[in-house]
Amino acid sequence: MAYFKVAFGFLVTAFLSAAVSLAHPGLGFGWGGVGAPGGQSGAPSYGLFPQFYQFSCPQAEDIVMSVLEKAIAKEPRMAASLLRLHFHDCFVQGCDASILLDNSATIVSEKNSLPNRNSVRGFEVIDEIKARLEEACPQTVSCADILAMAARGSTVLSGGPSWELPLGRRDSKTASLSTSNNNIPPPNSTLQNLITLFQRQGLDEVDLVALSGGHTIGVARCATFKQRLYNQNGNNLPDQTLERTYYYGLKSVCPKSGGDNNISLLDFGSPVKFDNLYFKLILWGKGLLNSDEVLLTGNVGNTMELVKAYAKDENLFFKQFAKSMIKMGNISPLTGFNGEVRKNCRLVN
């Protein structure tokens, strides 16, 4: 009987210690031997894994989805905005929620970089999710993981694929305005520039084309495609790849001077539905941004074949989008003792 009590006590202790380690990896051993990309060899490896909040905040994903459902029902475009936030976060210092930090005595906010100024949005939705999570599980769920969960949830609520999402990212104590300016692919990129910027993050051509498919939802500002309408190659002529009727429609939204903040749908056929129509529109000369169009006409690598494949087979696109989102979400996460779990996503603790 004494032996049974000792054995039972050991099991309880082991279970509780596992629970603590799951929630706070800095207090336990590395899980699964999966190190963060860019991590030092020989250091303890704290990998991301889907069950990270299983014991410390089992309701985390339900809370995220309940806030998203209301926000996206109220404004369907919000799904695209939240998906973009995750992308613009991961391409700077890794997926560490640096994009959420406001200006302060020690922080120069990434919100004012050229790719983000007057265009990134959804911060209030992230604030609401964080507030709800802080009530349920104080200082447990990181802002970086909230961004990753919001991106997946937004995709699902728009009719797109789901994926098993590795969790356990921690939040940065820094931001980088200059890296935000230099690393986020601009909308007027050449194909070679896009490939280079994605390769810098460990992402390949397949990831580039699949993740570009996120443009199946959302809008873009006139300033991001004006060059295509009026001066594509420095000769005061439009981009010849634009389908004529589409071109005239865009001109009516986006005048030669002024109107920079006027918006146009990235996928005018099904703007709030996550599907593969984006790729069909590119084939028809109706991709909105230069960075969309060059996937077909850029003459580098296999991007043309991928556009055609995803246009033909939506299921193929959905599967690859999910894989590429997991890969992007794994860019240089802070884990273990690195970073922190912010109480307020806009401020370091």
**Tens digit of each residue's pLDDT (9 = 90 or more) over 284-327:** 999 999 999 999 999 888 999 999 999 999 999 999 999 999 99
User: Which of 59-63, 118-122, 205-209 comes out lowest in average pLDDT?
Assistant: 118-122
Residue 145 is assigned to a ligand binding site: no
Alpha carbon distance 80, 66 (integer Å): 17
CA distances 163 to 54, 166, 205, Å, are 17, 9, 21
Q: Is 207 annotated as a binding residue?
A: no
Q: Are 300 and 196 in contact (CB under 8 A)?
A: no
What CATH number has the domain spanning 59-182?
Answer: 1.10.520.10
Mean pLDDT of 169-189: 96
Report the pLDDT averaged over residues 231-250: 95
Is 50 known to sit in a ligand binding site? no
Does residue 110 have a known ligand-binding role?
yes
Residue 13 has pLDDT above 70, yes or no: no
267 is annotated as contributing to ligand binding: yes
CA distance 109 to 88: 13
Q: Does the annotation place 185 within a ligand binding site?
A: yes
Q: Where are the domains of the chain?
A: 59-182, 185-330
The two domains 59-182 and 185-330 share their CATH topology (first three levels equal):
no
* 272 in a known ligand binding site: no
Q: Catalytic residue numbers?
A: 88
Longest Cα–Cα distance in the chain: 90
User: Which pLDDT value is given to residue 46?
Assistant: 64
- Comparing CA positions, the residue from 128, 206, 137 lying closest to residue 167 is 137
HSE, CB side, 13 Å, CA atoms: give it for residue 339: 32
Q: Mean of the per-residue pLDDT values for the chain?
A: 89
Bridge partners of 219, per DSSP, are 265
Q: What percent of the chain has pLDDT over 90?
A: 85
Taking 70 as the threshold, does the pLDDT of residue 28 lie above it? no
> Is residue 98 part of an annotated ligand binding site?
yes
The pLDDT of residue 33 = 28
Specify which residues 263 forms β-bridges with: 221
Provide mean pLDDT across the span 133-150: 98
Amino acid at 263: I
Question: How high is the pLDDT of residue 34?
Answer: 32
Helices marked H in the chain — which ranges?
A: 2-23, 60-74, 78-93, 123-136, 143-157, 177-183, 191-199, 205-212, 226-230, 244-253, 277-283, 290-297, 303-312, 314-329
Geometric angle at alpha carbon 253, from 248 and 257, rounded to 5°? 100
Distance separating alpha carbons of residues 115 and 129, to the nearest angstrom: 25
The CATH number that domain 185-330 falls under is 1.10.420.10
Task: Name the 3-class secondary structure at 187.
Answer: coil
State yes or no: 44 annotated in a binding site: no
Give the separation between CA 23 and CA 185, rounded to whole angstroms: 34
Q: What pTM did the predictor assign?
A: 0.88
The rounded distance, in Å, linking the Cα atoms of 150 and 23 is 20
- Give tens-digit pLDDT for 34-90: 333 333 323 344 689 999 999 999 999 999 999 999 999 999 999 999 999 999 999
